[in-house]
Amino acid sequence: MASDALTTRAHTTAPTAGRRRLPSSRAGLTVLAVVLSLISLFPVLWMVTSSFKTRATVTDGRLIPKDFTLQNFVYVFTEVPFARYLWNSFFISTVITVAALFFHSMAAYALARLRFPGREKLFGAIFATLLVTAPVVLIPLFLVARQLGLLDSYAGLIIPAIFNAFGIFLLRQFYLGLPKELEEAAVIDGCGHWRVYWNIVLPMSRPVLSALAIFFFLANWNAFVWPLVATSDQDLTVVQLGISSFQTQYTSNWNYILAAATVAALPMLVLFFVFQRQIVESIKTSGLK
Amino acid sequence: MSGVAAQERRRRATAAPPQSPATSGRRPRLSRKHREWLAAGLFLAPDVLGLLVFVAIPMVLSIGLSFFQVSGFGSYEWIGLGNYRRMVNDPLFWDSMKITGLYVVFLVPLLFCVSLGLGLLVKQQLPGVGVYRTMLFMPYVISLVVVGVLWKFLLDEQTGMVNRAMRAAGFDGESWLGSPSLALGCVIAVMVWVMMGYYMIIFLAGLQEIPQEFYEAAKLDGAGPWTTFRTITWPLLRPTSFFVLLMSTVAAITGGLDLIFVLTNGGPANGTSLAIFYIYQQAFGFGEYGYASAMGSFLVLIMVLISAVLFTFTRGGRFDDGE
């Protein structure tokens, strides 16, 4: 299953090089691909298997644990409020993803389909905000959030993370490519713009929305810098923040640290293996413009 | 811009039919056109408001803040170019700029070549190519915090796997994160490991857009792999290459804060203190919001200049300059 998601388009592409390939060069490329894949995979594999080792053997240099234990995970969940961290990250990422998809698809639909004065200029302005990268506005964003009383609250973790032009841009491109006939038929039937959007446009955008949903969830689960700046309350700690402070507290207890890191990475790895096609497709679209 | 507007007017003039009595009869107060405006306004309101408050206004504020001395909670004092004067005379800032420069100069080309190579490799019809794509992309979905933890474990001087492997091969182990230049090299290598799969996918998408006929024609002409790459792949891949260069440069200048925090914390001896890290420290470590904003604005200026230079040299990735 893992393999066929990414091979979908491979069938259409024949070997690229002009000359007919010798079998030996193809074998060479295959070996190269296997070696590079292993280099890519190995560190992650190492982290996962080491998290099942004991304190004494965690640095023994073996890939397969000699004395397999689940104690590290028990420790992480009982001695540290790790379940709380996971819940915070899950809750925040879910709310951001749902809200962002809803708002962005509404805005993108208006920009793609509704006629109103200044539409192109507004789109240009929204597009321009893509150039403003998050770390650059971190300081003023912090001051704005402080002014609005958003620091140390779920709202402060959620609301600023919802708005980015990237999603609006991708969805607008998608809506421009949708056939207009269905919407026009609905308008003739007397549907208002909201009904057209809710009953016709939204169901048709399911593929692009699911791709974006995974992407947003991933980005927010992995977010670190904004939560670090915006929260100091233990109850609001997100999982990435939890790992980073855990790591400074337990400097040489690698078995615990790696167990915590594995727990934080596992949901994303699972999400990736299940939905890799959607993730890859949304990256491809973002690159092509 | 005016062309677009004119086109839009024309379209509106032809597309908007005379208002049907049926719909205007149902809602007598607003004409159909005005209802469409109202709907558009309501559809756009949440995102426009959000982008304004959390992106646009902070951007403007960031430049404004750089002219103030911000102390403690909420007291602002206008000091004109004071922060910029301080910046010019701050050796630590220029050290961090130098490190950022080195970082970008090594990371961007390395990442570009590795990702392009991987893209070309996984475009081939190899047995199990889907598995290789999956494996190569996988590090990208792991957070930089976890990546930092993981590599700190692997690069540990005494017990890390990297040194263990080197000793097994007969070399001496290195103190990877213990010397400034080695640590910067490690940050670059780890970043390549994380990001190569992402840009590989972007290159793959670009490569798959190139019409197969070109390659068949080259094959008929008896062109070798290198000639084919130089005359077909490389020129037709220009828009993708431009995109990758621009994105990875901007990401290198402003990103990676998470990794630095966990892996090196800017050390040793400030050897991995990138400008963005130094700015963060000044702002949130010492509360120097005004000074940090001045340095941040300077960094944005540098990014705009680099983007402009990239645009000029590559003509935005278009291949309109002949062969």
Q: Which amino acid is at A218?
A: L
Cβ of A44 within 8 Å of Cβ of B125? The answer is no
Nearest of B49, B277, B108 to residue A138 by alpha carbon: B277
- In tens, the pLDDT along B116-134 reads 999 999 998 888 888 999 9
Residues of chain A with pLDDT under 70: 1-23, 286-289
The contacts of residue A213 (CB under 8 Å, 6+ apart) are A97, A101
A143 interaction partners in chain B (CB closer than 8 Å)? 61, 65, 289
Cβ of B215 within 8 Å of Cβ of A29? The answer is no
Closest chain A residue to B257, measured at CA: A225
Instruction: Let me know: does B111 contact B195? Beta carbons within 8 Å.
Output: yes
- In tens, the pLDDT along B68-112 reads 998 766 688 899 899 999 999 999 999 999 999 999 999 999 999
Please tell me the distance in Å from B174's CA to the nearest CA on chain A: 17
Q: What pLDDT is recorded for position B28?
A: 55
Cβ of B1 within 8 Å of Cβ of A159? The answer is no
From B8, B132, B258, residue closest to A120, measured CB to CB: B8
Cβ of A16 within 8 Å of Cβ of B22? The answer is no
| More confident position, A98 or B319 | A98
Tokens 């490519």 correspond to what residue? A177
Cβ of A287 within 8 Å of Cβ of B243? The answer is yes
A269 interaction partners in chain B (CB closer than 8 Å)? 138, 141-142
Cβ of A240 within 8 Å of Cβ of B53? The answer is no
Cβ of B132 within 8 Å of Cβ of A106? The answer is no
Q: What pLDDT is recorded for position A132?
A: 74
The domains of chain B, with CATH numbers, are 92-317 (1.10.3720.10)
- % chain B with pLDDT above 70: 87
- Tell me, what's the ipTM? 0.86
pTM here? Answer: 0.86
Choose from A163, A194, A268 for mutation: most chain B CBs within 10 A. Answer: A163
Beta bridge partners of B71: B75
From B47, B54, B284, residue closest to A104, measured CB to CB: B47
Q: At how many degrees (to 10) do helices B238-254 and A254-288 cross?
A: 140
| Gap between the Cα atoms of A235 and B274, Å rounded | 31
| pLDDT, average across residues B258-266 | 93
**How would you class B168 by CB atoms within 10 Å of its CB: exposed for 0-12, middle for 13-18, buried for 19 or more?**
exposed
- In tens, the pLDDT along B9-39 reads 444 444 444 444 444 445 456 787 888 899 9
- In tens, the pLDDT along B279-288 reads 999 999 998 9
Q: Which amino acid is at B95?
A: D
Instruction: Let me know: does B77 contact B68? Beta carbons within 8 Å.
Output: yes
Res. B316: pLDDT tops 70? no
| Gap between the Cα atoms of B169 and A192, Å rounded | 72
Q: At how many degrees (to 10) do helices A254-288 and A71-79 cross?
A: 80
From B151, B159, B224, residue closest to A18, measured CB to CB: B224
Q: What pLDDT is recorded for position A183?
A: 81
The contacts of residue A231 (CB under 8 Å, 6+ apart) are A151, A152, A156, A157, A237, A238, A241
Q: What pLDDT is recorded for position A58?
A: 83
B202 interaction partners in chain A (CB closer than 8 Å)? 283-284, 286-287
Cβ of A115 within 8 Å of Cβ of B12? The answer is yes
What CATH number does domain A82-288 carry, 3.40.50.720, 2.40.170.20, 1.10.3720.10, 3.90.1170.50? 1.10.3720.10
A111 interaction partners in chain B (CB closer than 8 Å)? 44
